[in-house]
Structure 1
Amino acid sequence: MQERNFVQAGDTIGHAITALQFMERELLLFATFWFIIGALDDLAIDVCWLWLRLTGRSPALGISRAEVAGRLEGRIAVLIAAWQEGAVIGHTIRHALGAWPQPELTLYLGCYRNDPGTIAAAMAAAGNDPRLRIVIHERAGPTTKADCLNRLYRALAEDERRTDQRFRTVVIHDAEDMVHPAELAVIDRAIGSAGLVQLPVRPEPQPRSPWIGGHYCEEFTEAHAKLLVVRDALRVPVPAAGVGCGIARDLLDLLAARRLREGEGDGGPFSTTCLTEDYELGYLVWREGRRTRFIRVRDEDGELVATRAYFPASLEAAVRQKARWIHGIAFQEWERLGWGTRLADLWMTLRDRREPFSALVLASGYVLVLVELLLALARLAQIDIPPRPSPALQVMLGICAGALVWRAAARFAFTTHEYGPGEGLRALLRIPVANVIAIIAGRRALATYVRTLLGETVRWDKTEHTRHPAADGLAMLPSGGAR
């Protein structure tokens, strides 16, 4: 009887080892193949960026203090939609109005009638500055950011009719943003040759959240120091980031008319049914025949002209935010925008929409690591296991390892250049953190998209903001230098 039990246990272990080896082989084939495809895609971006740098086609642009303080060529309206932002909106308003002394500026802040905290904080921060215009939405909040922006657009158009003075440029920001003093001057200079201008976004390191909040630093740095630079050079659509984005005033009227013709919303220029109306904005401007630009500039003190902000510091908030991005860009915009016709357009569109599949590949890779650990334990227990993967798979694994080293080196280099070597080293340690967030967010985005296909209304998962960089002593002075 005992001997039979041993035989049965041996058979069970043998079946388990066979199953693990089958999983190992299939996961290796799937994960390594797609890792290599992704690595080649990223390498193509690296090569394009290096070529731009070596040929001088991506020069290190700068802006002088005289240009920062000079008059603008036309009037600029800054739109900020706010819902329950009482903790940060005061810092945003005070800093923006202090950093931008230009009389050509009007800052439109959209609030809701059932959000007295945000309204009170905004009024207290404005002081007697006549350049702030608080617009109270007639609907109770929350609606969506796009709906609030459409309300601000209507208020702006009404002001133009009343004063007979038209704005040249409209800039979009979020309620938690800390702006750079040179931003308006840079956008004003570039908008003459483009319909839309996007400036970099610079997440600020957070000592209270070095892993979750910090992982945005390397992701945005690589995207806004390399990927968008390449997109701009290829003359493909540059998607707006929703902050630090300037658009020619006349284009808002064209987009509003387009929405009205299509029967979408109340005819405003921003889509109220899309989770990523900012991303879509860049593509729609490009389809109107106007160029979209990404401008990367430094001031005389070497500071990047960028929007600075704290990003989500908790796992749940980061997953919720990224799931919204993936849902909007990878799923909704597939339906709304379709695909490009030029090869470069198709390439960038595929890159934008690969996140759900990338999450699947990453998850497969981590399952593979678990399988390998179990097989290693079996070998340590002196269980006889057939030979390891074939030579072809060994070569593929070697390519993946080399690609990982290259990607890690690039991430370290870009992050170190912007934040210093300490943050560069942390960027390497945060790679697993970023991967886990991407996997969970990809699953959540797919689940919410499937629910919308089954009839569920698209919901806006707003990111909560409790801290502002300007409140932590990171304020940039109007002279253009960071202090």
Structure 2
Amino acid sequence: MDLGAWSALEWLALAEYELLLFAGAFFLVGALDEFAMDAAWGWLRLRGRAKTYTVNRSDLRYRALSGPIAVLIPAWQEARVIGRTIAHMVEVWPQDGLTFYIGCYRNDPATVAAAMEGAGGDPRVRLILLDRDGPTTKADCLNRLYAAMEGDELRSGKHTRTVLLHDAEDTVDAAAIALIDRSMDDCEFVQLPVLALPHPASPWVGSHYVEEFCESHGKALMVRDALGAAIPAAGVGCAFKRDTLGVMSIGGEGPFAGLSLTEDYELGLRIDAAGGRSRFLRVRGDDGALVATRSYFPATLRGAVRQKSRWMHGIAFQGWDRLGWSGGAVEHWMRMRDRRGPLSALVLLTGYLLFALALLLSVLDWAGYDRPWELTPALWWLLALNMAAFGWRAMMRFAFTAREYGAMEGLRAVLRIPLSNVIAIMAGRRALFAYARTLRGAAPQWDKTSRDDHPAPTLGEPAGSVR
């Protein structure tokens, strides 16, 4: 065969054929993985092992705590949101056993001022000014807050029972703190659901997180919990027994891995590996609202790509390096799902290239230049199975989103699928390049994403009953 004599049309047709085989095969593998998760969730629901319980909000809001709880909140350049976060927390969590540790940097006076204003003189709020310029990493800030908590324990003689993590932009649920306190009686780590709120100023980019968290925290984490797999900490709404963190210190720096870009995710898996009991706590109030941490997510394309590339770098690349593969078959499955992000980005990119090429060849076909190949029965079935899988995936995305935010948001979730894929592709490229730099000796770079908007003023009364 004289390849040099091939026409441009024949080369394009060959590229289309090869891309179709690659993308079709890997899309089908991914679809089978997702269908297995859907089937596991459905089976567990039928057996009553993936149940969302209901609690009385009034009974929980003012329930006394079983022991002191420290809330750690790192903050770098968060002047626009930190004040509202603190003001909301101290209002809806009135318990005396709480201490809020807010980590600020000496070269960020705006955040310091906003945090002080949000505290409103509440004696439970401790502003910790780090003795170095920011930004460092989130793990470094958390370790310094943890050290400040230890210092307070030595001075007061009171031992903290629970350590709770939150971010500077979070809106907490009024029932959450008592629910966490009660749940720590029989486990070492508790994770509450996280709900991304539809962003009024960014209905496409900022709101595409909505459906992702609705599915992951409405299905995947419930399956992990029910099957006994390790539960990764989400970094917010996650609580740990103080004594457990005390034995998780890494090289004397503290319990949070300073070199990890996803120290929260890693900590959840490390606790499970050490034999700690974990629990994903999905509960609704008697008003129907999920007891969860709510917030807006990055509203710009650049911010979303930066954030997701950090997640992908930390979970997929660093997770493989730092945590490896341990546990049984279920744990291997879950870690594979966690780390498939870069491969998924490549497959998605291939799919979009295939779409563009198929469109070009269709135009040429319409102009009279016939394709030099035809679909075989095997390829036809491959395409048909992929189309059916996409329809199923869209239906599931609609259902989980509509359950929390109604049918219109569920429909928008389906329409946002192409944009979500583009963001994943861009994040995958950025994460791969960042990881490659670390292989050449560069330190991991913490791509922090700042938020300009906070939902607390729009939540209504009482603040903790937002749906």
Q: Does TM, scored on the shorter chain, surpass 0.5?
A: yes
Q: Distance in 2 between matches of 1:178 and 1:295?
A: 17
Residue 17 of structure 1: aligned partner: 9
Q: In the alignment, is residue 482 of structure 1 matched against residue 460 of structure 2?
A: no
Contact in 2 for aligned 1:99/1:476 (Cα 8 Å): no
Say yes or no: does 1:99 pair with 2:66: no
Give the letter aligned to residue 466 of structure 2.
Answer: A
Among candidates 282, 294, 316, match of residue 268 of structure 2? 282
Quote the offset at 1:476 in angstroms: 5.6
- Structure 2's unaligned 5+ residue stretches are none
Counterpart residue number, 2:138: 145
DSSP 3-state at the match of 1:174: coil
Say yes or no: does 1:412 pair with 2:412: no
User: Which residue in the other structure is 1:380 paired with?
Assistant: 366
- Structure 1 residue 441 and structure 2 residue 427: aligned? yes
Does structure 1 residue 34 correspond to structure 2 residue 26? Answer: yes
* Structure-1 separation of matches of 2:371 and 2:151: 76
Structure 1 residues 340, 433: closer, same or farther in 2, change over 3 A? Answer: same
Mapped partners of 2:60, 2:174: distance in 1: 11
Q: 2:449 aligns with which of 460, 463, 482?
A: 463
Name the CA distance, whole Å, in 2 between partners of 1:129 and 1:81: 18
Match of 1:111, SS state, is strand
Look up the equivalent residue of 2:150 and give its one-letter code.
A
Task: Indicate the SS of the match to 1:293.
Answer: strand
- What SS does the aligned partner of 1:197 have? strand
Give the C-alpha shift of residue 384 in structure 1.
3.1
Q: Which amino acid in structure 2 is aligned with residue 29 of structure 1?
A: L
Q: Tell me the equivalent position of 2:302.
A: 316
Name the aligned partner's letter for residue 446 of structure 2.
W
**Contact 2:259–2:444 at 8 Å: present in 1 too?**
yes
**Cα offset, 1:387, TM superposition:** 4.1
- The aligned residue for residue 123 of structure 1 is 116
Give the match for residue 160 of structure 1: 153
Match of 1:359, SS state, is: helix
- Residue identity in the other structure for 1:458: P
Deviates more, 1:55-64 or 1:417-426: 55-64
* Code of the aligned partner of 1:47: A
Deviations 1:138-180 (A, max 9, x none): 1111111110111111110111111111111000000000000
Instruction: Report SS of the residue matched to 1:270.
Output: coil
Aligned residue number for residue 331 of structure 2: 345
Q: Indicate the structure (1 or 2) with the bigger Cα radius of gyration.
A: 1
- Of 357, 375, 395, 1:389 maps to 375
Deviation at 1:481, TM superposition (A): 2.2
Q: Which residue number in structure 2 is paired with residue 8 of structure 1? A: none
Q: Is the 8 A contact 2:10 2:372 kept in 1?
A: no
AA in 1 matched with 2:30: G
Give the TM-score, by structure 1 length: 0.94
Find the partner of 1:303 among 289, 292, 298: 289
User: Alpha carbons of 1:120 and 1:56: their partners in 2 closer, same or farther (altered >3 Å)?
Assistant: same
Aligned-residue CA RMSD (Å): 1.3
1:193 aligns with 2:193: no
**2:7 match: secondary structure:** helix
Residue 213 in structure 1 maps to residue 199 in structure 2: no
In 2, the alpha carbon distance for the partners of 1:385 and 1:454 equals 45
Q: Which runs of 5+ in 1 are unaligned?
A: 1-10, 261-265
Equivalent in the alignment of 1:60: 52
Contact 1:25 1:389 in 2 (8 A): no
Separation in 2, partners of 1:138, 1:283: 30
Q: Structure 1 stretches (4+) deviating beyond 6 angstroms?
A: none
- The 1-side partners of 2:461 and 2:149 are apart by 28
Shift of 1:226: 0.3
Measure, in 2, the Cα distance between the counterparts of 1:475 and 1:30: 50
Q: How many residues align?
A: 463
Question: Does 2:159 align with 1:181?
Answer: no
Amino acid at match of 2:131: E
Q: Distance in 2 between matches of 1:445 and 1:475?
A: 39
SS at match of 1:74: coil
- Percent of aligned pairs with the same amino acid: 54
TM-superposed CA distance for 1:482, in Å, is 2.6
1:252 aligns with 2:245: yes
1:321-340 matches, within 5 Å, as 321-340=307-326
Q: 1:128 Cα deviation (Å)?
A: 2.4
Q: Which residue of 1 aligns with 2:277?
A: 291
2:103 aligns to what SS in structure 1?
strand
Q: Which moved more, 1:317-326 or 1:374-383?
A: 374-383
Of 347, 352, 355 in structure 2, the residue corresponding to residue 361 of structure 1 is 347
Stretch moving more, 378-387 or 420-429? 378-387
Report the TM-score, using the length of structure 2 for normalisation.
0.97
Alignment deviations for residues 87-129 of structure 1 (CA, whole Å, 9 cap, x no partner): 1111000000001011111111011111111111111121221
Paired residues of 1:235 and 1:291 also in contact (CA < 8 A): no
Structure 2 letter corresponding to 1:308: R
Matched, 1:202 2:186: no
Give the Cα–Cα distance (whole angstroms) in 1 for the partners of residues 415 and 253 of structure 2: 47
TM superposition shift of 1:341: 3.0
Q: 2:91 and 2:60 mapped to 1: Cα distance? A: 17
Distance in 1 between residues matched to 2:363 and 2:112, nearest whole Å:
61
CA distance 1:381–1:184, change in 2 (3 Å): same
How far apart, in 1, do the equivalents of 2:323 and 2:49 lie? 30
Note the alpha carbon deviations across 1:356-375, whole angstroms, 9 max, x for none: 00000001011111111111
- Whole-angstrom CA distance in 1 between matches of 2:103 and 2:462: 26
CA contact (8 A) 2:231 2:268 kept: yes
Residue pair 1:144, 1:460 contacting (<8 A) in 2 also: yes
Distance (Å, rounded) in 2 between the aligned partners of 1:354 and 1:428 = 22
CA displacement at 1:388 relative to structure 2: 1.8
CA spacing shift, 1:300–1:384, aligned 2, 3 Å: closer
**Contact persistence 1:32–1:396 (CA under 8 A):** yes
